[in-house]
Amino acid sequence: MIEVKNIYKSFNDFQVLKDINVVFEKGKTNLIIGQSGSGKTVLLKSIVGLHEVNNGDIIYDGTVFNKLDFKEKKEMRKQIGMLFQGSALFDSATVEENVMFPLNMFTHMSHEEKRERANECLKRVNIVNANKLFPSEISGGMQKRVAIARAIALNPKYLFCDEPNSGLDPQTAILIDNLIKEITIEYNMTTIVNTHDMNSVMENGDKVVFIYKGEKWWEGSRDDIFDSDNQQLNDFIFASKLSQKIRDLKNHV
Amino acid sequence: MLLFYHIGRYFILLGRVFSKPEKWKVYYRETIKEIEKQGLSSIGIVAIISVFMGAVITIQTAYNTENPLLPTYLIGLGARDSILLEFSSTIVALILAGKIGSNIASEIGTMRVTEQIDALEIMGVNSASYLILPKIIASVFFAPFLSLLSMLVGITGGWLAGISTGVITTENYIYGIQYAFIPFYITYALIKIVVFVFLITTISAYHGYYSYGGSLEVGKSSTRAVVRSSIFILLFNVILTQLLLS
């Protein structure tokens, strides 16, 4: 479980996050949604410690993460996996080397054991026969899956995904969403996904947090969305004609 | 004020770079890769430039000492001292600033803007140390060899130019390069090149590491890295010359 308490974050004089309070539950896919520029990525990066918050606490299962020193944070981070918007695979390393990287750094496994674990993770994300390819030689969807394989290589307790299906076609996006959901349950992780993809919200939103202009505007489950009378949330979720039709149909039923 | 900000941030980065590695074996492997990438791949350009510079120095020295009162072996002596004292360290370092400096800044800068450095940090890896320390070790280790190579090839280039243009005979050239030889000049050149490549690597890494934005910014960082490395090479050239030769 990750608890975010009274988080404030500003860049110079620009206040990006204002008094965010939210609890992300274990074994669930927690989604942060909001418009571009609403502060979703800053919130996610603040939670993982890539941005120092100005005020407030980020608590990982009872440990105040943002109060830890450099060494303690480094230790804690071994329990964290993250999938970046652009995959962030090391482009000078092959697919297999990318997945083996955290194993090389933090385990005392033999080379064979590391390869076996890397292949296990790659198989889990349905990547076969691509071990020797470089990230530039595989598709965007495959890159995302390799990044997931790398993120789960050390059996993390927490998984963070920043816009996991941006730039992907709808079918591949659903595949990635399902993979994240399955892995969350399988590894019993606390997963936080940053997205503005409505399919993800409807398919994966065990818990949904809506950020509007740097503030938490709404939270609930995907089913609660249809009953919400929050204007900004409705404007955001039902922006397209298709989603409006779905809402009307659901209300009609 | 901005200058102090950069100096402070540079030393903070160095503090992170020289912290204990997570795993020596991984760092060792990275260092070997860097020796290949920075050192071995620079042999060609250093050798080509050295042979031509040696040739030009010899011809120019011959032109400037065209006097029946001056012995011709002075051409060899002048070429040797120019190559040993200045060319094989300072000029080679300026060449390396262009080659490896821009390479380091753009490589690390690209990793920054594509979130690869964030990915390292999230994994619990000290990204500054992992990315920069092997480059420093590799360049500091390999640069003296490049400098020695440059001396050898430069002097050979001078000899080739001297005999092919007829400005000096082989005997006089060899006599000249041996005449009043001070072995400390080699030590002086090697000390200089080690300091210079340390500056190149760390300044370039600093600019790459703190890149932001997109490819345009990475390009600017790369240019800044080369320009500032070159300025610091010239500044430290004066300082080291004063310290070591006065």
What is d(CA B194, CA B89) in angstroms, rounded to the nearest whole number? 9
Nearest-Cα residue of chain A relative to residue B125 = A74
Position B22 confidence tier, pLDDT thresholds 50, 70, 90: confident
B26 contacts A77? CB cut-off 8 A: no
Q: Which of A193-207, A235-249, B134-148 bottoms out in mean pLDDT, i.e. has the lowest?
A: A235-249
- Residue B202 domain boundaries: 23-245
- Considering CB atoms only, which of B26, B111, B114 is closest to A105? B26
CA atoms within 13 A on the CB side of A77: 27
Q: Give the mean pLDDT of B71-100.
A: 94
* Residue B176 clears pLDDT 90, i.e. is over it: yes
Residues in A closer than 8 angstroms to B121, CB to CB, are 49-50, 77
A78 contacts B123? CB cut-off 8 A: yes
What is d(CA A231, CA A229) in angstroms, rounded to the nearest whole number? 6
* Residue B1 clears pLDDT 90, i.e. is over it: no
DSSP conformational letter for B91: I
Report the number of distinct structural domains present in chain B. 1
* Residue B148 clears pLDDT 80, i.e. is over it: yes
Is B171 in the A-facing interface, judged by CB distances under 8 Å? no
A86 contacts B115? CB cut-off 8 A: yes
- Tell me whether residue B8 is in a domain: no
What is d(CA A34, CA A197) in angstroms, rounded to the nearest whole number? 10
CA-wise closest residue to A78 among A3, A180, A151: A151
Position A171 confidence tier, pLDDT thresholds 50, 70, 90: confident
pLDDT given at position A253: 66
Q: What is the length of chain A?
A: 253
- Considering CB atoms only, which of B26, B114, B122 is closest to A77? B122
* Residue A250 clears pLDDT 80, i.e. is over it: no
User: Which structure tokens are listed for B150?
Assistant: 């440059």
CA-wise closest residue to A219 among A16, A17, A14, A30: A30
- Tell me whether residue B95 is in a domain: yes
A→B contacts (Cβ < 8 Å), by residue, are: 45, 48-50, 73-78, 80-82, 84-86, 88-91, 101-102, 104-106, 160
- Give the rounded percent of residues in chain A with a pLDDT score beyond 70: 100
* Residue A243 clears pLDDT 80, i.e. is over it: no
Q: Give the mean pLDDT of A87-113.
A: 93
Is B68 in the A-facing interface, judged by CB distances under 8 Å? no
- Tell me whether residue B17 is in a domain: no
Is B20 in the A-facing interface, judged by CB distances under 8 Å? no
Identify the CATH assignment for A1-79+160-165+188-253 out of 3.90.650.10, 3.40.50.300, 3.40.50.720, 3.30.70.790. Answer: 3.40.50.300
Is B121 in the A-facing interface, judged by CB distances under 8 Å? yes
CA-wise closest residue to B29 among B188, B148, B138, B105: B138
Residue A81 distance to chain B (closest CA, Å): 7
- Tell me whether residue B6 is in a domain: no
- Considering CB atoms only, which of A45, A90, A104 is closest to B26? A104
Q: Which of A42, A48, A71, A77 to mutate to test the interface with B (most CBs of B within 10 A)?
A: A77
Question: How much is the mean pLDDT over chain B?
Answer: 94
Is B122 in the A-facing interface, judged by CB distances under 8 Å? yes
B116 contacts A89? CB cut-off 8 A: yes
What is d(CA A215, CA A42) in angstroms, rounded to the nearest whole number? 12
DSSP conformational letter for B20: P
- State the pairing for strand pair A63-64/A190-195: unpaired
- Considering CB atoms only, which of A48, A89, A90 is closest to B122? A48
State the Cα angle at B21 between B15 and B24, rounded to 5°: 145
